[in-house]
Amino acid sequence: MKIILTAALAAGLGFAAGGAAFAYDGTNCRAPGNCWEPKPGYPEKVEGSEYDPLHDPTEVSKQGESLQAMDARNAQRVAHFKQTGEFVYDVSKIPAQ
Amino acid sequence: MIANNGLRGAPSRLAFSAALAAFGLTASPVLSNDKLVELAKDPANWVMTGRDYNAQNFSEMTDINKETVKQLRPAWSFSTGVLNGHEGTPLVVGDVMYVHSPFPNTVFALDLNEPGRIIWQNKPKQNPTARAVACCDVVNRGLAYWPGDGDVEPLIFRTLLDGHIEALDAKTGETRWKMENSDIKVGSTLTIAPYVIKDLVLVGSSGAELGVRGYVTAYDVKTGEQKWRAFATGPDEDIRLAEDFNLANPQYGQKNLGIETWEGDAWKIGGGTNWGWYAYDPDVDLFYYGSGNPAPWNETMRPGDNKWTMAIWGRDPDDGMAKFAYQKTPHDEWDYAGVNVMMLSEQEDKDGTPRKLLTHPDRNGIVYTLDRTNGDLVSADKLDDTVNWTTGVQLDTGLPVRDPEFGTRMDHKATDICPSAMGYHNQGHDSYDPDRKLFFMGINHICMDWEPFMLPYRAGQFFVGATLTMYPGPKGDRENALGLGQYKAYDAITGEFKWEVMERFSVWGGTMATAGGLTFYGTLDGFIKARDSDTGELLWKFKLPSGVIGHPMTYKHDGRQYVAINYGVGGWPGVGLVFDLADPTAGLGSVGAFRRLQEFTQQGGGVMVFSIDGESPYSDPMVGEYDPAMPGEPT
């Protein structure tokens, strides 16, 4: 209840321009293209809250690493294909430049 | 790879003369996208997913019309030899039909002079683990065709579920090159059809249900060399924003929002994959597509607008730079993955000004029409009056006004939200009739209850975090789980529906329209149907072997108009049937909604081709017969 009251007060003070922000309706923007607001009773930031996703940085970086490795293998395939006219998928069978 | 005697017969005369025209009558060197435009003008061909770059699924042919449609009969058919969902539609170029299949994504080339002959088939070896990270059946949406140039013969492109993009020689089926685009070890797969613009092939991405950060990639058609890659979230240089990005509509947002509308590093696993369809305007030189939902489905774990997921994009095909983007569903709370079909048209707006437009029926229950030169919002209408998460979209700001009662959040079970996560419109590729100025849309009528839960992110594992129950919308029969679909004719300028009808199940596969005044579509309960484009009256139908989740197509061969459609139920609505699931919340909530489907259809897989009176090359029964007098001749 305390949090809801705070949100209502903030709206009343003009923090949210487009009307009373008793609930998130998507029309009170802090900047163009940035109109999210926490719902009443929910945190502005989830870090440190009961809803903290606690993402493991190692897990979160795996996609980027995987893309880099695929791109590197593809580059070897393309280089060999362009040079010889022969396409070899298995990079271990592509002779070193 | 099995290849036999290569291409038999010459390309159809129409196709040939169109190609000649493209070569002979143009003074400047002909770009291959011009060749595709020329080929698409010939009713003999269907050279890309939506027939041509306008993605209208419209044919000028009138042989099959309101009068003759009652005589439509099967001419021939072909089984792909695999089950699971058969999405997309075959391509026809000259005398050859190219057919794709779900996993393992075999491609077949069929001889239209004698469709019993498989000219070649290319069956790839794939890591079967790919099946385990496919969210919604092992479907694939189609092939792409590049017409060739002086150096390289025509090519067919396909995506593989295990993440590869591959170029095949259109005449022999042999692999020219094969590149890695997506890694199943991190939950990233491919189901989207490739798309050819100029000498580039575009490849989308899948896996937002496994936290995959979405991207679109362009490869050189001849070598497979990567030309550019644009992400949906993160730093502007990754998203590839042009200098004048959203200059016409700064209220949509411009710089740094791929980071600022997320908390911390959440954008790195933020979804935004694109697995829908593309359209392209050669004059404006922009291509259009939609980015998907943010990850996870649990909205409480990702504060912010989560840009640029759920956005309509206009990008330059040469360098991938975005000229505009409009976010339809800021901070998604319902999995309204914004990847749906983009249909281009030229119409006068309410002020009588001719506009180059893009019309897009979204999962969120709104059909958007934008000026495709700059992203101006022209109209945003509800697909059905039962949409309740928003009271409507403000055309000046572009913002949807949310009804907080139908939002989702942690420690709360939201009920009766419409549309459901399956959307009021899903992956179906619809059609537009330019004479009638009507869009024919296959619509879903499904609502849901939704309760999120906390979960960790582990690369390669599902990252959903919500439990769903889905059921028919208010106009359906909730007690009997029927009445899950609608079919409507829509005017994007007036916002009016010229007609609308209910369907037993969702119209999942899309539609096709013809100048014969007909609109065709397939149904999940196993019919292909033809309706009167002006009234919606049902004029004809045929019971196919299995339900349909692909879009119909039409082509002319030897002076005869054919209509073809894939059958083979599956996709998200079919996961209960396909994987034999009983828990109504299984299959991301679709099992309960479609519990009656198995009473109407079972799995299948193939193409059925129709013509007036079922006329085909085999109307002469001697065509294709074995001739013992010529034992050395490959038949």
> What are the structure tokens assigned to B356, written together?
């180059």
Going across the sheet that includes B279-281, the strands are: B279-281, B286-290, B311-315, B322-327
Chains A and B form CB pairs within 8 A to the count of 141
Whether residues A38 and B303 touch (CB distance < 8 A) is answered with yes
Give Cα B421 distance to the centre of its chain.
Answer: 17
Q: What is the DSSP letter of B493?
A: T
State the nearest Cα–Cα gap between B442 and chain A, in angstroms.
29
Among the residue ranges B33-42, B256-265, B478-487, the one predicted with the least confidence is: B33-42
Q: How much is the pLDDT for B635?
A: 55
State the nearest Cα–Cα gap between A59 and chain B, in angstroms.
6
State the nearest Cα–Cα gap between B33 and chain A, in angstroms.
23
Torsion of CA B469, B407, B447, B521, to 10 degrees: -120
- Among the options B162, B335, B381, B433, which is catalytic? B335
Which residues in chain A have Cβ-Cβ distances shorter than 8 Å to B307? 33
Q: What is the pLDDT of residues B491-517, one digit of tens each?
A: 999 999 999 999 999 999 999 999 999
Whether residues A70 and B183 touch (CB distance < 8 A) is answered with yes
Q: How much is the pLDDT for B628?
A: 86
Whether residues B264 and A55 touch (CB distance < 8 A) is answered with yes
Which residue spans of chain A are classified as CATH 4.10.160.10? 1-54, 55-96
Does B374 contact A at CB distance below 8 Å? no
pLDDT value at A1 more than 80: no
Mean pLDDT of the residues in chain A: 84
Q: Which pLDDT band holds residue B6 (cuts at 50, 70, 90)? A: very low
How far apart, in whole angstroms, are the C-alpha atoms of residue B451 and residue B259? 27
pLDDT value at A19 more than 60: no
**Which residues from A are below 8 Å from B when comparing CB atoms?**
23-27, 29, 31-36, 38-39, 42-47, 51, 53-57, 59-64, 66-67, 70-71, 73-75, 77-78, 81-82, 87, 89
Q: Which residue in A51, A73, A88, A93 has the most chain B C-beta atoms within 10 A of its own C-beta, making it the best mutation to test that interface?
A: A51
How far apart, in whole angstroms, are the C-alpha atoms of residue B484 and residue B161? 29
DSSP for B184-218, written as a single string:
GGGT-B--SPPEEETTEEEE--B-GGGTPPPEEEE
Kindly give the interhelix angle for B32-41 and B13-24, rounded to the nearest 10 degrees.
Answer: 140
How far apart, in whole angstroms, are the C-alpha atoms of residue B16 and residue B418? 50
Q: What is the pLDDT of residues B364-416, one digit of tens each?
A: 999 999 999 999 999 999 999 999 999 999 999 999 999 999 999 999 999 99
Mapped onto helix, strand or coil, the DSSP state of residue B498 is strand
Which residues in chain B have Cβ-Cβ distances shorter than 8 Å to A53? 266, 301-302, 454, 456-457
Whether residues A36 and B330 touch (CB distance < 8 A) is answered with yes
Q: How much is the pLDDT for B631?
A: 67
Q: What is the pLDDT of residues B288-303, one digit of tens each?
A: 999 999 999 999 999 9
CB B567 within 8 A of CB B548: yes
pLDDT value at B525 more than 80: yes
Q: How many CA atoms lie within 13 A of B178 on its CB side?
A: 17
Q: How much is the pLDDT for B31?
A: 55
Please tell me whether the interface predicted TM-score (ipTM) of this complex is above 0.95.
no
Which residues in chain B have Cβ-Cβ distances shorter than 8 Å to A87? 175-178
| B335 in active site | yes
Q: Which residue in B210, B223, B300 has the most chain A C-beta atoms within 10 A of its own C-beta, making it the best mutation to test that interface?
A: B300
CA-nearest of B130, B190, B128 to B160 is: B190
Whether residues B457 and A53 touch (CB distance < 8 A) is answered with yes
DSSP for B532-601, written as a single string:
ETTT--EEEEEE-SS---S--EEEEETTEEEEEEEE---TGGGHHHHTT---TTTGGGHHHHTTTGGGT-
Q: Which long-range contacts (CB under 8 A, 24 or more apart) does B63-67 make?
A: B63/B516, B63/B556, B63/B560, B63/B561, B63/B612, B64/B514, B64/B516, B64/B518, B64/B554, B64/B561, B64/B563, B64/B612, B65/B514, B65/B516, B65/B517, B65/B518, B66/B516, B66/B517, B66/B518, B66/B532, B66/B539
Residues flagged as binding site of B for Ca(2+): 209, 293, 335
CB A51 within 8 A of CB B454: yes
Whether residues B456 and A56 touch (CB distance < 8 A) is answered with yes
Which residues in chain A have Cβ-Cβ distances shorter than 8 Å to B265? 55, 57, 60
Whether residues A34 and B459 touch (CB distance < 8 A) is answered with no
Q: Nearest by CB to A33, from B178, B254, B404: name it.
A: B254
pTM for this predicted structure: 0.93
State the nearest Cα–Cα gap between B373 and chain A, in angstroms.
20
CB B447 within 8 A of CB B472: yes
pLDDT value at B18 more than 80: no
Whether residues A25 and B401 touch (CB distance < 8 A) is answered with yes
CB B601 within 8 A of CB B547: yes
CB B239 within 8 A of CB B233: yes
Q: How much is the pLDDT for B491?
A: 98
State the nearest Cα–Cα gap between A93 and chain B, in angstroms.
15
3-state secondary structure B352-392: CCEEEEEEEECCCCEEEEEECCCCCEEEEEECCCCCCCEEE
Among the residue ranges A19-28, A72-81, B129-138, the one predicted with the least confidence is: A19-28
Q: Which pLDDT band holds residue A22 (cuts at 50, 70, 90)? A: low
Which residues in chain A have Cβ-Cβ distances shorter than 8 Å to B217? none
Average pLDDT over residues B122-138: 95
pLDDT value at B108 more than 80: yes
Which residues in chain A have Cβ-Cβ distances shorter than 8 Å to B330? 26, 35-36
Q: What is the pLDDT of residues B39-58, one digit of tens each?
A: 999 999 999 999 999 999 99
pLDDT value at B356 more than 50: yes
Give Cα B62 distance to the centre of its chain.
Answer: 25
Q: How much is the pLDDT for B3?
A: 45
Residues flagged as binding site of B: 87, 141, 191, 207-209, 273, 293, 335
Residues 319-358 of B with CB under 8 A from A: 327, 330-331
Which residues in chain B have Cβ-Cβ distances shorter than 8 Å to A49? none
Give the number of other CB atoms < 10 A from CB of residue B11. 17
Q: Looking up tokens 């493991």, which residue turns up?
A: A56
Average pLDDT over residues B125-152: 96
Q: What is the CATH number of domain A1-54?
A: 4.10.160.10
Could you tell me the fold of the domain covering A55-96?
A: Methanol Dehydrogenase; Chain B (4.10.160)
How far apart, in whole angstroms, are the C-alpha atoms of residue B555 and residue B3? 25
> What are the structure tokens assigned to B115, written together?
């469709």
Which residues in chain B have Cβ-Cβ distances shorter than 8 Å to A46? 263, 300-301, 303
Mean pLDDT of the residues in chain B: 94
Burial status of residue A12 (CB atoms within 10 A of its CB: 0-12, 13-18, 19 or more):
exposed
CB B231 within 8 A of CB B247: no
How far apart, in whole angstroms, are the C-alpha atoms of residue B474 and residue B502? 12
pLDDT > 70 in chain A, percent:
76
Q: How much is the pLDDT for B629?
A: 82
State the nearest Cα–Cα gap between A34 and chain B, in angstroms.
6
Q: What is the pLDDT of residues A72-89, one digit of tens each?
A: 999 999 999 999 999 999
Q: Where are the beta strands (DSSP E) in B67-221?
A: 72-79, 91-93, 96-100, 107-111, 118-122, 144-146, 155-159, 164-169, 175-180, 195-197, 200-203, 215-220
pLDDT value at A11 more than 60: no
Residues 548-587 of B with CB under 8 A from A: none
2.140.10.10, 2.102.10.10, 1.10.150.300, 1.20.140.10: which CATH number matches B61-614?
A: 2.140.10.10
CB B358 within 8 A of CB B380: no
Q: How far is residue B351 from each of residues B106, B248, B355, B373, B378, measured CA to CA in Å?
A: 50, 19, 10, 18, 11
Average pLDDT over residues B32-43: 89
Would you mind telling me the total number of residues written for chain B in this entry? 635
Q: How many CA atoms lie within 13 A of B614 on its CB side?
A: 10
CB B97 within 8 A of CB B562: no
CB B269 within 8 A of CB B305: no
Average pLDDT over residues B428-449: 98
Q: What is the pLDDT of residues B533-559, one digit of tens each?
A: 999 999 999 999 999 999 999 999 999
Q: List, in order, residues 6 or more apart from A70 with CB less than 8 Å away.
A: B180, B181, B183
pLDDT value at A36 more than 80: yes
pLDDT value at B1 more than 60: no
Give the number of other CB atoms < 10 A from CB of residue B24. 9
> What are the structure tokens assigned to B346, written together?
């030229």
Q: How much is the pLDDT for B466?
A: 98
Does B409 contact A at CB distance below 8 Å? yes
Parse chain B into domains and list their residue ranges.
Answer: 61-614
